[in-house]
A and B are shown apart, each in its own frame.
Chain A
Amino acid sequence: MFKTIKTSQLQLLAMIAAMTIIIVFFSIATEGAFITPRNISNLIRQTAIVGVLAIGMVFVIISAEIDLSVGSMMGLLGGVAAILDVWLHLPIALTILVTVCSGLVLGLFNGWWVAYQRVPSFIVTLAGMLAFRGILVGLTDGATVAPTSSDLSIIGQSYIPSGWGVSVIGVLCLGLIARVYSRRKSRQNHGIENTTAKFEYAKAFVVVAVLLILLISLENYRGIPTPILIMGGLILLATYIAKRTAFGRRIYAIGGNIEAARMSGVNVEWNKMWVFGFNGMMVAIAALILTSRLGAGTPSAGNMAELDAIAACVIGGTSLAGGLVRFLVPLWEP
């Protein structure tokens, strides 16, 4: 008799199957060019921007809201970064700071309307989608702002020297296994039943193995691309916020049942506004990577990127009804 497979497991299996089919098909179609280290490196580099956007979007979706303005906001912030860099010749650190702060302000602005003024997020961010694009065109007079300084190009175009990449991945793998160990230990101390050790460690080792394979193929080309390292760092940060902090826990609670969260004394408005604020900062970082990669700020940058970000979240297992993330990162199970 078959054991019944859970929906979440089925989703994961379907995703792995789809990826396998894509890899096999394109490897054959391109006579092996698809799996060359150079192509893999390029593919991964391209996912960084959508990946960073998705990190912010996940929090918005967990809290049962939506943000349609991230594409335009990324374009606008990318334009701001380019203007600061190309026209005003600000030092790179100041450019980054101003861009990220602008992202925070725009995000909080969206969040204030949603949380305190009770305007549905679909409406607020639809307005933002149109308005931010308009501001961008106005600021740049519809022209491309180029060329960016070599400092700014580092963010999107450089690679990590090989030795550093190995150390980063090594620390990550050890950290992952240590986390599994400490969690099992803590459960044991409180008399909570653990799943079998083999299964949990096997899961961790699968993640480690995938990371190592990626590392090897990246090292075979030029090393780990900087945007990927940034994305990795932000994924760790987001995981920490989602799983370990009171803020993260409250976002899940708000998405799961907003009324019950309010009755439990959770400051629903404040937390919601900051979800959008955090999302704004993630958009700013994605915008910096984008401008740096293109070497320019363009009026059409980030067009439709909101849909990519939302799709990435949903394919990654975020429930659009809020409150649930299944396997964006194996550690994110609620």
Chain B
Amino acid sequence: MTQPLLEMRDIVKSFSGVRALNGVSIKLARGEALSICGENGSGKSTLMKVLSGVWPYGSYEGDIFFEGQAVKAAGIRDTEALGIVIIHQELALVKELSVLENIFLGNELGSFAKLNDEDMYRRTRDLLKRVKLEVSPNTLVRDLGVGQQQLVEIAKALNKNVKLLILDEPTSSLTRNEIQILLNIVHDLKDQGIACIYISHKLDEVLDLSTWVAVIRDGDHIDTRSAAELTQNDIISMMVGRELEALFPREVHDIGETVLRVKNAHAMQAGASIPQVNDVSFELKKGEILGISGLIGSGRTELMQCIYGCYDGRYSATIEMQGQSLTIRSQRDALAAGIAMVPEDRKRHGIIPIMGVGRNISLSVLDDYVTYLGAIDENRETQDTVDYIARLKVKTASPELPIKNLSGGNQQKAIIAKCLLTNPKILILDEPTRGIDVGAKYEIYKLMHALVKEGMSIIMVSSELPEVIGISDRVLVMHEGRLKGEFDHQGLTQEMIMNCAIKEGV
């Protein structure tokens, strides 16, 4: 390697005694891309926060050199002045302003009294050309798709004369097509001599893009290797520190009689002309994992909301559980009937961020702990939550730690624990492994198998086809609100599901 653009040497960062980073070193030259891989909570984000100056010089140990100079940043402004720009997963654009205004926000050209609109317009047009975004500089950002907004962020970074671009999970909410555009742009930037640090769980993108791949596990720097000599399986085993027997453990389930029968489910948004769920009927058997697949917007989540009693609009369905018909008008009715649900959107519907992990877990069953004078029997409550934290291997320093401080995978495990405490007969998991790392995914799959062995029935909604095929006993495919196909897992391929989910009138 020639003179590196960036060198981070033995970075150590602790939070109240816990080492989040334990001597991580990385190196990067101009025109190269470095991917940083690791499970959630392994320290990737912390490393990027140290690099970008969110954690100021002095709050960590180790040295950072940029273009041969030691970096002693007091904040993000300092690192941005050097040419280090980070683009976060949650975009930092002002939606009500135009593309031009966003790009020049804080660095407007012209004098205090009169902005130089002509120059800014010309510069913006050139920048948009560089990121191949064909929109007018005066378009409002809220009128752009997520992928296009991502490109505006990159244009904004280019305007600041970026030398090192950090992309944190840039593709997690993009479509296939948008991802390809973004990857091409990053390749172009590399050719123009800009270095790039790329953080992603999507290993195919990592291998496509990177010169180097660095793997971090539990704050330790495992290795940095040339991307050309790695396969996806190599990276996975470096990340989890063990060979996965398989990504999807397959176990044989003892499937019993029907427990849940849903008939003629309909759901219609107020003011809409097309129903989101249109006359769907299906059955769920005891000890079975039922996968529900389909494109986003095909009515999968809405169908689950009808069963759990939380659909926001008019809906109807005949639901029978073990032969008895149920009326479910609210989440409380569903829980009382023995149906629990892990929602799709963890942040919005799952966690109470500032509450402790333990209290999040016990929230659904508080009434069980009430003794005299309405008081909660904290002894029994703590006992149960500590048990479930141990059983589900939720990694938390203490049950009293606010749940927002946990990684996504551990938050998800805590929400599953909350559902299990209600002792459900039927567990609905809506996108149970979205945005969580390989290790935690594997643990959740194992847990699902253990639960159905105890006689629970699971409905899993998922967009990840390998997951649907790898875990379910039976797969239902939805298309535009209707149930379009039913498959047994044996001999099922991704192509079969995709064909069923996309094609009209097969």
The interface of chain A, by Cβ under 8 A from chain B, is 1, 4, 186, 189-193, 240-241, 244-247, 249-250, 252-253, 256-257, 259-267, 323-324, 334
**Known A-B contacts A244-B376, A246-B369; A257 and B352 likewise in contact (beta carbons under 8 Å):** yes
Q: Is the CB of A191 within 8 A of B386?
A: yes
B367 touches A256 (CB 8 A): no
Q: Which of B335, B350, B370, B373 contacts A265 (CB 8 A)?
A: B335
Asked whether any CB of chain A lies closer than 8 Å to the CB of B354, the reply is: yes
Q: What are the residues of chain A within 8 A of B353 when measuring CB–CB?
A: 256-257
- The count of A-to-B residue pairs whose CB atoms sit within 8 angstroms is 92
Tell whether, in the assembled complex, residue B382 and residue A260 are in contact, meaning their CB atoms are under 8 Å apart.
Answer: no
Besides the known contacts A241-B374, A263-B331, A323-B354, 16 further A-B residue pairs in the complex with CB atoms under 8 A apart = A1-B58, A186-B378, A190-B386, A192-B398, A192-B399, A193-B397, A244-B375, A244-B376, A245-B370, A245-B373, A245-B376, A259-B348, A259-B349, A263-B350, A265-B332, A334-B354
Assuming the A-B contacts A246-B366, A250-B366, A253-B355, are A260 and B350 also in contact, with contact meaning beta carbons closer than 8 angstroms in the complex?
yes
The chain B residue with its CB closest to the CB of A244 is: B375
5 residue pairs bridging A and B, Cβ less than 8 Å apart:
A245-B373, A245-B376, A246-B370, A250-B366, A263-B331
- Per a CB cutoff under 8 Å, which of A4, A189, A256 touches B352? A256
Q: Which of B341, B348, B376, B383 contacts A249 (CB 8 A)?
A: B376
Given contacts A192-B400, A245-B375, contact A264 B386 (CB under 8 A): no
B373-390 interface with A by 8 A CB criterion: 373-376, 378-379, 382-383, 386
**Chain B residues positioned under 8 Å from A267 (CB to CB):** 332
Does B310 belong to the interface (CB within 8 Å)? yes
Q: Within the assembled complex, what's the spacing in Å between the Cα atoms of A256 and B404?
A: 11
Whether A190 contacts B355 by the Cβ 8 Å rule is no
Top 10 closest pairs, chain A to chain B, by CB: A256-B352, A246-B366, A245-B374, A265-B335, A264-B363, A264-B364, A244-B375, A257-B352, A265-B332, A263-B349
Instruction: Return A16 CB to nearest CB of chain B, in Å.
Output: 24
User: In the bound complex, how far is the Cα of B398 from the Cα of A193, in angstroms?
Assistant: 7
Q: Are A262 and B310 in contact (CB under 8 A)?
A: yes
Residues on A with C-beta less than 8 A from B332 are 265, 267
Residues in B with CB closer than 8 Å to A190 are 382-383, 386
Q: Taking the nearest CB of chain A, how far is it from the CB of B366, in angstroms?
A: 4
Interface pair B376/A246, CB less than 8 Å apart: yes
Neighbouring B residues of A265 by C-beta, 8 Å: 331-332, 334-335, 364, 422
Query: Chain A residues near B363 (CB, 8 Å)?
Result: 249-250, 253, 261, 264, 266
Least Cβ–Cβ distance between A23 and chain B, in angstroms: 33
Shortest C-beta distance, A90 to chain B (Å), equals 31
Residues of A within 8 A of B341 (CB): 263
Contact A260 B352 (CB under 8 A): yes
A246 to B380, CA, bound (A): 14
On whether the beta carbons of B386 and A263 are closer than 8 Å, the reply is: no
Cβ-based interface call for B343 (8 A): yes
Looking at the assembled complex, report how far the CB atom of B350 sits from the nearest CB atom of chain A, in whole angstroms.
Answer: 6
Task: Point out which of A193, A250, A263 has the most chain B C-beta atoms below 10 A from its C-beta.
Answer: A263
Interface centre among A1, A247, A264 (most CB of B within 10 A): A264
**Does B359 reach chain A (CB closer than 8 Å)?**
yes
CB-defined contacts of A259 to chain B, threshold 8 Å: 348-349
Quick check: B331 and A264 within 8 Å, CB to CB? Answer: yes
Taken residue by residue from 219 to 254, chain B's Cβ proximity to chain A (1 for < 8 Å, 0 otherwise) reads as: 000000000000000000000000000000000000
Report the minimum CB–CB distance from B54 to chain A (whole Å): 14
CB nearest to A252 among chain B residues: B355
CB-nearest residue of chain B to A253 = B352
Q: Which residues of chain B are near A246, meaning CB under 8 Å?
A: 366-367, 369-370, 374, 376
